[in-house]
A and B are shown apart, each in its own frame.
Chain A
Amino acid sequence: IAGITQAPTSQILAAGRRMTLRCTQDMRHNAMYWYRQDLGLGLRLIHYSNTAGTTGKGEVPDGYSVSRANTDDFPLTLASAVPSQTSVYFCASSAEPGSSYEQYFGPGTRLTVT
């Protein structure tokens, strides 16, 4: 069982370029999430999706967009990358969006915007 896969593993991106981070889960989980992790700031929620076809904004959504066309995939797009988006990005999923359900995380994508 793969769980959650993310691609690419790492990327160096020029400022102003568009980039899509991919996330796929094979657990048929309804809820999916995107977090970013920065030193000293912990993990912060960017966007989430409670079920296929719906998305919502988290704590730090500006500059990012997501889509949830099906259950398995939850891509995160940076329309025009800026250096402040340099971070490690984690995708996560849970069976349901409720607070009694644990979240499973992918291995992360390390993004550097120059």
Chain B
Amino acid sequence: DAKTTQPNSMESNEEEPVHLPCNHSTISGTDYIHWYRQLPSQGPEYVIHGLTSNVNNRMASLAIAEDRKSSTLILHRATLRDAAVYYCILRPYSGGSNYKLTFGKGTLLTVNP
């Protein structure tokens, strides 16, 4: 499976935008890019996913590089509730029966009031 590289930690101030980077230089043409986050003592939470084009939803935006070797999760206005570990995950498109999510170490985002 293709690997992702994320910074161990990042810090932001409340109400400021946050750009969380992810490198995935070995991504294959059919891998989906997924982002999840995990708040303290909670289960992982889906944030957003995309394949080639930039994506927006109510939680965040996903900017995907033209060569797809990197992507950036954008939180437009960070709140204290956004403090969490953010995981960038590649999901291969395959005909197999195992569609697990492979969580790496992620980026611990700290939001300062």
* Chain A residues close to B by CB (< 8 Å): 31, 33, 35, 42-43, 45, 48, 50, 56, 58-59, 90, 92, 94, 97-108
Contacts and interface: CB of A to CB of B under 8 A. Distances in A.
Contacts of B102: 42
A43 B99 contact: no
Interface in B69-110: 91-94, 97-105
B42 A107 contact: yes
A79 to B, nearest CB: 23
B106 to A, nearest CB: 8
A35 to B, nearest CB: 8
Given A99-B91, A99-B92, A104 B46 contact: yes
Pick the 9 closest A-B CB pairs, nearest first: A105-B43, A99-B91, A45-B100, A102-B46, A42-B103, A43-B103, A97-B99, A105-B44, A90-B43
B97 A59 contact: no
B99 A98 contact: yes
Interface residues of B, number: 23
B34 interface: yes
Given A105-B45, A106-B43, A58 B98 contact: yes
A28 to B, nearest CB: 17
A59 B101 CA distance: 11
A42 B38 CA distance: 11
Contacts of B91: 99-100
A99 B99 contact: yes
A37 to B, nearest CB: 8
B49 interface: yes
18 contacts: A35-B101, A42-B102, A43-B44, A43-B101, A43-B103, A45-B101, A50-B99, A58-B98, A92-B43, A97-B97, A99-B91, A99-B93, A100-B51, A102-B34, A105-B43, A107-B43, A108-B42, A108-B43
